[in-house]
């Protein structure tokens, strides 16, 4: 399974959250035993992480992952275009799957 492409728009200085439902053969994938992680970087080859998203699998049986970024994280970032991806993984990285990837357009905050 190759990663889906989904581009995000995040308003600098605002709280951001989005839910993704992982499906396998048309049904929600059971994410019991999995964790999720996602990072934002300036480019795919950048060595430093611009921001780590908070990833939450609240109900593993329904395959839903909440990806969020707090306003305190986005406020100090420079507005512009970044890249991100979201992975699910099991203990000790025994199984790692990139679920989704794309760009993040961080729009400039005016009210500060």
pLDDT digits (tens, 9 = 90+) for 11-31: 999 999 999 999 989 999 999
pLDDT of 34 > 80? The answer is: yes
Instruction: Give the Cα-Cα-Cα angle 91, 74, 92 (nearest 5 degrees).
Output: 5
Q: What is the DSSP letter of 47?
A: S
Task: Write down the pLDDT at residue 1.
Answer: 65
Do the beta carbons of residue 57 and residue 64 sit within 8 Å?
Answer: yes
| Structural domains of the chain ordered from first start | 4-107 (2.60.40.10)
Residue 96 CB neighbours (<10 A):
11
Q: Round to whole Å and give the CA distance between 110 and 58.
A: 34
The tens digit of pLDDT for each residue in 46-81 reads 999 999 999 999 899 999 999 999 999 999 999 999
Q: Tell me if residue 30 falls in helix, strand or coil.
A: coil
Residue indicated by tokens 């993040």: 104
CA of 94: how far to CAs of 36, 88, 91, in Å? 13, 11, 6
pLDDT of 2 > 70? The answer is: yes
Average pLDDT estimate for 79-102: 96
């Amino acid at each position: 399974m190759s990663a889906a492409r989904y581009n995000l728009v995040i308003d600098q200085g605002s709280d951001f959250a989005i839910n993704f439902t992982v499906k396998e053969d048309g049904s929600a994938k059971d994410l019991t035993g999995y964790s999720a992680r996602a990072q934002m970087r300036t480019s795919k080859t950048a060595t430093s992480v611009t921001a780590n998203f908070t990833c939450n699998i609240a109900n593993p049986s329904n395959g839903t992952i909440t990806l969020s970024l707090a306003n305190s994280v986005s406020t100090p970032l420079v507005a512009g275009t970044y890249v991100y991806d979201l992975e699910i993984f099991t203990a000790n990285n025994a199984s790692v799957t990139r679920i989704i990837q794309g760009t993040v357009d961080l729009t400039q905050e005016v009210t500060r």
